Amino acid sequence: MRPVIVTGVTRAELAAVDQLAGLGAATVHEAIGRSGYLGPRLRPIQDGARIGGTAVTALCWPGDNLMIHAAAEQCQAGDVLVVTTTSPCADGMFGELLATSLAARGVRGLVIEAGVRDVAELRAMGFAVWSAAVSAQGTVKETAGAVNVPVSVGGQIVRPGDAIIADDDGVVCVPRGGVGPALAAARARAAKEEQNRKALADGQLGLDLYGLRDKLIARGVEWVTAEEYARGEADG
């Protein structure tokens, strides 16, 4: 890892990111071909928050939050700070003071593949956080890492300037260049879902709505009565 702080990062267009955020993480993830989801380990510390923003990335040493401080200077209004560590770490690397600093710069939230602390205070101040842990364990500020380099979080690659969409379902990353197409696809999907919602509420089955009945038959699935099934089990 080159110990570097990259400045002057080009961001995804914020207006489009905001519109993506309105559609929610799951819909956006579907719209970009079921990709970009940062995994179920990243959970919100609050209920009901839904944010969008542009990624500033920080790569830290475990138990050391020095580079979060360095990343704060690179953050601007509309950003989401995305933090990971060189090896797995659950320490409370981020708390109320860092949140105060980021909020003063217009940062919209934090996504961290490690722990946070001061969660009562973070909730009270309305600073949105998705983290892999909550932990009172403090960190040192001793070891160099990197800011605004591509990072790997939850099996996905996040590049600085990418769009980050986060809500109760987790966090999705949309590559900077893909925000426009993602928005078009997500809107189309949302419209289609609205239509399906009505049909399903009226009692139609997904089996029919999505043409799955033939698929089941093609894959050899049979419908048998409970009685027939029990007889089959008994016969082995």
Q: How far is CA 180 from the centre of its chain?
A: 18
**Residue 13 touches a copy of itself, criterion: CB under 8 A:** no
Burial of 146 (0-12, 13-18, 19+ CB in 10 A): buried
Question: Interface with a copy of itself includes 76 (CB under 8 A)?
Answer: no
Residue 92 is given by DSSP the state B
- 48 lies in the binding site for a copy of itself (CB under 8 A): yes
Contacting residue, 126, 188, 191, 229, with a copy of itself by CB under 8 A: 229
Q: Toward a copy of itself, which CB reaches closer, 18 or 189?
A: 189
Instruction: Candidates 104, 184, 188, 191: give the one binding a copy of itself (CB under 8 A).
Output: 104
**What is the per-residue binding string for a copy of itself in 110-149, x denoting contact by CB under 8 A?**
-----x-xxxx------------xxxxxx-xxxxx---xx
CA–CA distances in Å: residue 163 to residues 9, 139, 147, 196, 222: 13, 28, 17, 28, 45
Q: Residue 16 interacts with a copy of itself (CB under 8 A)?
A: no
34 contributes a contact to a copy of itself by CB under 8 A: yes
Q: How far is the CB of 193 from a copy of itself (least distance, A)?
A: 6
Residues 147-176 that bind a copy of itself (CB under 8 A): 148-150, 152-153, 155-157, 160, 167-172, 175-176
Q: What is the DSSP letter of 64?
A: B
Indicate whether 30 belongs to the interface with a copy of itself (CB under 8 A).
yes
Nearest to 2 by CA among 147, 112, 154: 147
Give 18 or 103: the residue with its C-beta nearer to a copy of itself.
103
Cα dihedral across residues 83, 84, 90, 93: positive or negative: negative
Cα–Cα distances (Å) from 24 to 39, 40, 124, 166, 183, in that order, read 15, 16, 23, 7, 11
Q: Which of 83, 89, 129, 185 binds a copy of itself (CB under 8 A)?
A: 89
User: Closest separation between CB of residue 138 and a copy of itself, Å?
Assistant: 4
- The token duo for 180 is 């426009």
Minimum distance of a copy of itself from residue 38's CB (angstroms): 9
Contact indicator for 83, 93 with CB cutoff of 8 Å: yes
Q: Does the footprint of a copy of itself cover residue 235 (CB under 8 A)?
A: yes
